[in-house]
Structure 1
Amino acid sequence: MSHDLTKFIHKHPGGQDFILLAAGKDVTKIFEAYHGQKQHHNLQIFRMGLLAGQDVPSFPPPDNFSLTLKRRVNDHFRLLKADPKQSPGTRRRYFLTALGIWILYGLQGYCLTAVHDGSHGAIGRNPVLWKLLLMGHDFFVGTSSTLWTYQHVMSHHVFTNVDGFDADIETSEVEFRRIKESQKYFCFYQLQSIYSPLLYVLLGCTVRIEDLLYYFTSRRGPLKVNPFTFQQNIIFWGGKLFFLMTRIFLPLFWGVPLSRVISAFFVADFTLSIILALIFQATHVVDVAAFPQVNSKTGNIDVDWARLQVETAQDYGHDQPLTTFFSGSLNYQVVHHLFPYVAQEHLPAVAKIVRQTAKEYGVKYEIKDNLWAAIGGHIGLLKLLGTPPHSD
């Protein structure tokens, strides 16, 4: 079903940015994840008609697990008279993280909390706040928040671990590692469980270079990138200029030796990169996670979307407040994927509902004891797919 939101875009409570990103795309599951029946009813006013054909797979209608889980979580917040998007504790975390940026020159906390929450509108109900948080990705990290939103929200969160549609597991013909069965095998993959984690230090530099490629080709993995607005262009190029000025040129101008500037840059960047890479890889690219296939006959996905979110990820360290704090609540990855609009502070309570409902409906919900066990699952997958095929 297609809808014309031209007259509504400036009235959208979530701001116009998300609608502009979604223009011309099938965002059915994103809409359902963030909205309820009232918004679904209101959307029908703007209905244009049915589209012929499709460029991405569709999912079957929500099953009893999905419907029951959503109802129970909604009831949870209604009984508590709590707003799932409001979280004073998370705002305090933002402040402490921002303070840490200036004191320690470290950015991992910002990426794991503010940027991530901003991309989902998962803190407060003010789109201006979300945009400001996201802009930190451009100005403090040097990577595009617009392209990140395409990758993370519109690709990864919809088609989690689905080969060909999840930008997070997109691979070229020859990669430094093998993370899915569809990739061609090369003999050097036998050592990938050893060298891959070491190469994760290059994540930040790689993403900044890829930003330019995606910007000029108007593609982000499997998704077509809509033309950047004037504001998005200012943020994209202004962010990269600000990043280079503050990280490289200003220190040189102030008389800091070039060797110290370069070494400080790479130490900070390598540290940020490996922390982010391991935390994200330990949730989806693991040996217990499913990698669903598109039905070759129908072109669609046969698994209910909510079930897919539970079975393509793993949680860890649910009873470890420090793990939750330093991972930006990404240790509740399954819960976050099911309810991306819910603020971090509420995820532990929602996790109990998810766990009980998954048990009732026979849905596999994997929870590791701690981060190290979760990382072990990632290393396990690298070892498994690094083994030569048909070797006995």
Structure 2
Amino acid sequence: MVIETWKQSGIATKFPTYRNSKLITTKGWLLGKQKDDEAEGLWRIYDGIYDFTEFINKHPGGEFWLIESKGTDITEAFEAHHISKGPHKLLQKYKVRDAKKPRIYTLTLHEDGFYKTLRERVRETLKTIDTTPKKKSDLIHLSLFVSIFIFAVLSARLNSILCLALAGTALCWTTIVAHNYFHRRDNWRMYTFNMSMMNFCSWRISHALSHHIYPNSYLDLELSMFEPFVCWIPNPYIKSKMMRYLSIITEPLTYCIAFPLQKATRIIYSLRYNNIMYWHDILSLSIPLAIFLFSDLSLLLSLRQWIFITMIASFAFCVIGLNAAHHDPEIYHEGDAAREDRDWGLFQVDTIIDRGDLKGSQFLVLTHFGDHILHHLFPTLDHGILPQLYPVLYETLDQFKGKLRECNHLEHMLGQHMQLLRTTPNTKPQGS
């Protein structure tokens, strides 16, 4: 009976089908969600079934979101990605019928609840904010993107370890900043994410539709993909003592190969099952091509140089990303006691401790996943304008007994490793 308890999700009435697969992929996650979500082969929002087939080509955010999410419950994703009232008014036009079965998700989005109250206040605030920081975000992104090639070529021409490290750092930061753009409608900047060997289409699923909507739960792909090498869920039945301590040793290696491992996983899935590769998967090859064309290195040595740069970037990305906000013994993880108020927005707050040491620097916020709570609540907004939303966030948190928690990067790293060792669920709910 105890083990069966761990087969239940804290935010859903079903244990996710995809987690029973030997090879965890974004495609497997979507297929599992289609089986679990009671969306009847179309799109489900709350207790309604909608047919957006005719709207796919008209969707302002791009076709991808609707094509990939067909057959699933998109309630939380729909609410989080549409701040304005326009999309909500369009829904009735595409409604087919009421759903035959109740939703499997237990989180709520009541009109008078935390998230919708906050979103209404944010909607009003956006009418008067300064939008010029968006241009600064664009400039930071472009500068980092160009610097990848500059330092990559210099590392080869000068045989410089320093330039090699700077190229890896620039690649890491470009990847993180590009994440600022793929939550939105289609744009050219999202393609720069692919310089990392990862793919923004895959990450729109694993990050935007999975992790952002269901953080630290069984439905969070960004937890599942690291298992069994790294496991943050405090489950004594799947996290043995050896796994707990061994994960600390295997961490550096896992960090170094995270980028190429995601590419390899997608290639293997494409060969064994269905193709999930895209033409823009080849964009990362522009780095070794630039090294080959503008240095004296052979093609083979140019590829080796690129691999070193990618491994540096991968390691730095994981050090930043996995210690950015979500893992600490005080943060809610699957199996912990949940707060009584099941509001989706409060759930987001409970799964995050922000990096307080990044505030005040738009560059650091962009390159280190800063202002994380606001980004999770309103992912389509540019990071540059998020700081202007803190007054209404604090106001709404006070009203609904939520709390914005902060710490520095070192404290996050220590907390993340403590979470790797934790096997006992927290019995005290967040906000109690």
Give the TM-score taking structure 2 as reference length: 0.72
TM-superposed CA distance for 1:77, in Å, is 1.4
Match of 1:178 in 2: 231
Please state whether the residue corresponding to 2:354 is helix, strand or coil.
strand
User: Does residue 161 of structure 2 align to residue 137 of structure 1?
Assistant: no
Q: Which has the higher contact order (CA 8 A, sep 6+)?
A: 1
Deviations 1:258-303 (A, max 9, x none): 77445523331222112211222121122222014599xxxxx972
CA distance in 2, matches of 1:211, 1:373: 34
Match of 1:49 in 2: 97
TM-superposed CA distance for 1:246, in Å, is 4.6
User: Does residue 150 of structure 2 align to residue 103 of structure 1?
Assistant: yes
Query: Does the 8 Å contact 1:177/1:196 carry over to 2?
Result: yes
Match of 2:50 in 1: 3
Selected match of 1:285 from 306, 312, 327: 327
Q: 1:259 to 1:48 in 2, by over 3 A?
A: closer
CA distance in 1, matches of 2:53, 2:322: 38
Selected match of 1:120 from 178, 183, 190: 183
Q: 1:362 to 1:128 in 2, by over 3 A?
A: closer
Letter in 1 for 2:150: I
Alignment of 1:41-80 (within 5 A): 41-53=89-101, 57-62=105-110, 64-80=113-129
Letter in 2 for 1:207: Q
User: Does residue 242 of structure 2 align to residue 187 of structure 1?
Assistant: yes
Please state whether the residue corresponding to 2:105 is helix, strand or coil.
coil
Query: Does the 8 Å contact 1:201/1:271 carry over to 2?
Result: yes
CA distance in 2, matches of 1:340, 1:291: 21
TM-superposed CA distance for 1:171, in Å, is 5.5
TM-superposed CA distance for 1:98, in Å, is 1.8
TM-superposed CA distance for 1:309, in Å, is 0.7
Please state whether the residue corresponding to 1:89 is helix, strand or coil.
helix
Letter in 2 for 1:357: T
CA distance in 2, matches of 1:251, 1:273: 22
Any unmatched runs of 5+ in structure 1?
122-126, 219-226, 296-300, 387-392
Match of 1:363 in 2: 402
Give the TM-score taking structure 1 as reference length: 0.79
Query: Does the 8 Å contact 1:289/1:313 carry over to 2?
Result: yes
Match of 2:79 in 1: 32
Query: Does the 8 Å contact 1:98/1:110 carry over to 2?
Result: yes
CA distance in 2, matches of 1:294, 1:53: 27
TM-superposed CA distance for 1:305, in Å, is 0.6
Question: How many residues of Structure 1 are paired with residues of Structure 2 in the alignment?
Answer: 353
Letter in 2 for 1:133: R
Q: 1:54 to 1:170 in 2, by over 3 A?
A: farther
Please state whether the residue corresponding to 2:78 is helix, strand or coil.
helix
Q: 1:306 to 1:216 in 2, by over 3 A?
A: farther
CA distance in 1, matches of 2:289, 2:126: 47
Q: 1:157 to 1:238 in 2, by over 3 A?
A: same
TM-superposed CA distance for 1:18, in Å, is 1.7
Please state whether the residue corresponding to 2:128 is helix, strand or coil.
helix
Q: 1:190 to 1:254 in 2, by over 3 A?
A: closer
Match of 1:21 in 2: 68
Letter in 1 for 2:58: K
Match of 1:390 in 2: none
Query: Does the 8 Å contact 2:359/2:371 carry over to 1?
Result: no
Any unmatched runs of 5+ in structure 2?
1-47, 153-166, 425-432
Query: Does the 8 Å contact 1:155/1:167 carry over to 2?
Result: yes
Selected match of 2:422 from 380, 384, 387: 384
Query: Does the 8 Å contact 1:324/1:330 carry over to 2?
Result: no
- State the percentage of identical aligned residues: 21
Alignment of 1:285-304 (within 5 A): 285-292=327-334, 303-304=342-343
Please state whether the residue corresponding to 2:99 is helix, strand or coil.
coil
Please state whether the residue corresponding to 1:117 is helix, strand or coil.
coil
Selected match of 2:346 from 300, 303, 307: 307
Selected match of 2:381 from 333, 338, 342: 342
Selected match of 1:152 from 183, 187, 207: 207
Q: 1:305 to 1:103 in 2, by over 3 A?
A: same
Query: Does the 8 Å contact 2:357/2:409 carry over to 1?
Result: no
CA distance in 2, matches of 1:103, 1:56: 50
TM-superposed CA distance for 1:328, in Å, is 2.9
Q: 1:148 to 1:343 in 2, by over 3 A?
A: same
User: Does residue 226 of structure 2 align to residue 167 of structure 1?
Assistant: no
Match of 2:43 in 1: none
Query: Does the 8 Å contact 2:234/2:334 carry over to 1?
Result: no
Please state whether the residue corresponding to 2:138 is helix, strand or coil.
helix
Q: 1:72 to 1:253 in 2, by over 3 A?
A: closer
TM-superposed CA distance for 1:117, in Å, is 2.2
Match of 2:264 in 1: 209
Please state whether the residue corresponding to 1:334 is helix, strand or coil.
helix
Selected match of 1:269 from 310, 323, 326: 310
Please state whether the residue corresponding to 2:240 is helix, strand or coil.
coil
Q: 1:89 to 1:83 in 2, by over 3 A?
A: closer
Please state whether the residue corresponding to 1:49 is helix, strand or coil.
strand
TM-superposed CA distance for 1:45, in Å, is 0.7
